[in-house]
Structure 1
Amino acid sequence: MMNMDWQLLSSEYLFKDQWLTARVDRCLTPSGKIVEPYYVLEYNNWVNAVALTADGQAIMVRQYRQGIGKTLLEIPGGTMDAGETSPLLAMQRELLEETGYRFEEMISLGTIAPNPASSNNITHMFLATGGVKVQEQELDPTEELEVVVMPLAELQQLVLDNKIVQSLHTTCIFYALLHLGKLGVK
């Protein structure tokens, strides 16, 4: 296999914040080409989960997304906090905070890269089963989430009808449906 990795020659931070860091890199390709400027956005890693109640209902959240200016139906998830090293523990925390549910089993569905061309982070996907509500939501000061519980078949149809537009969430839903045997592969 041909080595296609670029060599990082220099890197300069343009902006650093809790939620976003932007840098500009200067790179050398294996064929000797200099690529500059190359912009990279740094984010903490993310977690998300298809969360199912003890009776198999899907737990969703509705929230406003400023990036596209719409309120969306999504699966629970969020950012791994600074210092959090366990995606599983981060996901359990996010589920409890956003939904108030605790889960009997957490199954890893793998990791994906949200945008590997320009972002450095990954998303850890889970299937959470056996959910029982144990508390009220504990939302961050800027979060406003509505919990929506629906039959899994309804969630499946929403995805098939392209009604779940958050691509990282749709990917997790497809992996969960495949794991559950609810997605026929043709």
Structure 2
Amino acid sequence: MIHMDWKLLSSEYIYRDQWLNARKDKCLTPQGKIVDPYYVLEYNTWVNAVALTEDGQVVMIRQYRQGIGKTLLEIPGGTMDPEDVSPEVAMRRELLEETGYDFPELIYLGEVAANTASSNNYTKMFLAVGGRKVQEQQLDHNEEIEVVLMPLATLQQLILDNKIVHSLHVTCIMYALLHLQKMGMK
């Protein structure tokens, strides 16, 4: 195998905030080329889950997404906070805050990277099962989220019809559907 890793020569932060850091790197390729500047966006780890209630309904959310300027149907998820000791803890918190549902079992489905060319973080994916509504939503000041329950077959059709557009959510849904099929639960 050819060695392809770049060497980081220098790095400078050009923007820092609670949710995003942007840095400008100077790199050296194995072939001796200098790449300057190379911009990298740093985010916290993200989490998301396909969430199933005790009676097998999928817990979805609808919310506005400024990035593409549309209200979207999505699965619950969010970012790990500094006090979250693990992705599972973060996912349980997000599920409770966004939906009011608690889930006795979280199954880890793996991790994916949103954009390996320019972002540094991963999304940890879960399948949450056995959910029960235990409280009202506890949303952040900028969140307005509608909880939507649907049969699993409806979610599958939404995927086939390209109605779920958030790529990280589609990926988690596909992993969850594969897991459910493998477990004979679908």
Superposition TM-score tier, normalisation by shorter sequence = over 0.9
- The CA distance in 2 between the partners of 1:2 and 1:89, in whole Å, is 39
- The CA distance in 2 between the partners of 1:121 and 1:101, in whole Å, is 27
Alignment of 1:1-186 (within 5 A): 1-181=1-181
- The CA distance in 2 between the partners of 1:27 and 1:85, in whole Å, is 33
- The CA distance in 1 between the partners of 2:166 and 2:85, in whole Å, is 25
Change (3 A) 1:6 1:85: farther
**What is the deviation of 1:178?**
0.4
Q: Match of 1:9, SS?
A: strand
The number of residues matched between the two structures is 182
Gaps (5+ residues) in structure 2? none
**What is the deviation of 1:78?**
0.2
- The CA distance in 1 between the partners of 2:161 and 2:5, in whole Å, is 39
Q: AA paired with 2:107?
A: I
Q: Match of 2:31, SS?
A: coil
Q: Which moves more between the two structures, 75-84 or 160-169?
A: 75-84
- The CA distance in 2 between the partners of 1:130 and 1:104, in whole Å, is 6
Q: Match of 2:181, SS?
A: coil
- The alignment yields a C-alpha RMSD, in angstroms, of 0.9
Q: Which moves more between the two structures, 170-179 or 82-91?
A: 82-91
Q: What is the TM-score with the length of structure 2 in the denominator? A: 0.96
Gaps (5+ residues) in structure 1? none
Q: Render the CA deviation track for 1:36-88: whole Å, top value 9, x for unaligned.
A: 10000000010000000001100000000001000000000000012423000
Q: Match of 2:18, SS?
A: coil
